[in-house]
Amino acid sequence: MHNIDLAIKPQPQQSAFLDNKYLITLSPIQRIEWALQHLPATHITSSSFGIQSAVMLHMMTSVDASIPVTLTDTGHLFPETYQFIEQLSDKFDLNLHIYKATQSSLPQENPCEVFKFEGDKNLKKYHHINKVEPFERAMKELNAKTWFSGIRQEQSMHRKSLSVVEQLRGHYKVHPIIDWTQADIHNYLTKHKLPYHPMKHQGYDSIGDIHSTLPLSQSTEKNYTRPRGMQRECGLHV
């Protein structure tokens, strides 16, 4: 663990990594600027190009236009998501790096089969092959030490426990908008004239793969629109 002195005043007495009580007082942009200055490079940001992804992409590229942006493409995204990727890539001139699975499995070849089995063993396998392994490969190939993510506390019970800066699988993980609400997201998008994912207007609150994403109207709980209520986390953030 690094002992890091803050350049931003006032300086906390203990390690900045441990002092999330201090970091939570900063704005998201200040958190990004602090992390870029004090946490080890290479720095990257990940994006699913989901409902609210324009917020983090705008913030990150406003501070550092060259920062690598990683996308783990399962090959089963909605057509609208691929269009959104192109739209935001052009808008922000993203330094985009796309990673895909390198191996095959039953769920990979026929993803809908994953939901025909009891339990989540096959779902976890699908997530590992299509999301976790490609992202870990991206981190290794880009020599990334610090990872920025746009997840928020109100999105799930697990995320509710997270702070601005964490350590995960040997990397620093920074959550600049961890404490933001849906209202904060909407206000930021409106202020900067940024788009939601186009399927937001079709009743979707969260976007993943075609075979595992439900609109709010077909889900009993907001946090279980993907993947069909079986498992909220895909494995990247746990």
Q: How many CA atoms lie within 13 A of 159 on its CB side?
A: 22
Instruction: Reply yes or no on whether 234 is catalytic.
Output: yes
Q: Is the dihedral of CA 227, 229, 232, 236 positive or negative?
A: negative
Q: Is the dihedral of CA 117, 118, 123, 126 positive or negative?
A: negative
Question: Quick check: 207 and 78 in contact, CB under 8 A?
Answer: yes
Strands 171-174 and 146-148: parallel
Burial class of 37 by CB neighbour count within 10 A (0 to 12, 13 to 18, 19+): exposed
Q: Which of 88, 164, 234, 236 is catalytic?
A: 234
The alpha carbon of residue 200 and the mean position of all alpha carbons in its chain are separated, in whole angstroms, by 17
Count the neighbouring beta carbons within 10 Å of the beta carbon of residue 27.
11
Give the DSSP per-residue string, 9-64: SSPPSS-TTT-HHHHTTS-HHHHHHHHHHHSPSPEEEE----TTHHHHHHHHHHH-
In angstroms, rounded to a whole number, what is the distance separating the alpha carbons of residues 46 and 111?
Answer: 23
Active-site residue set: 234
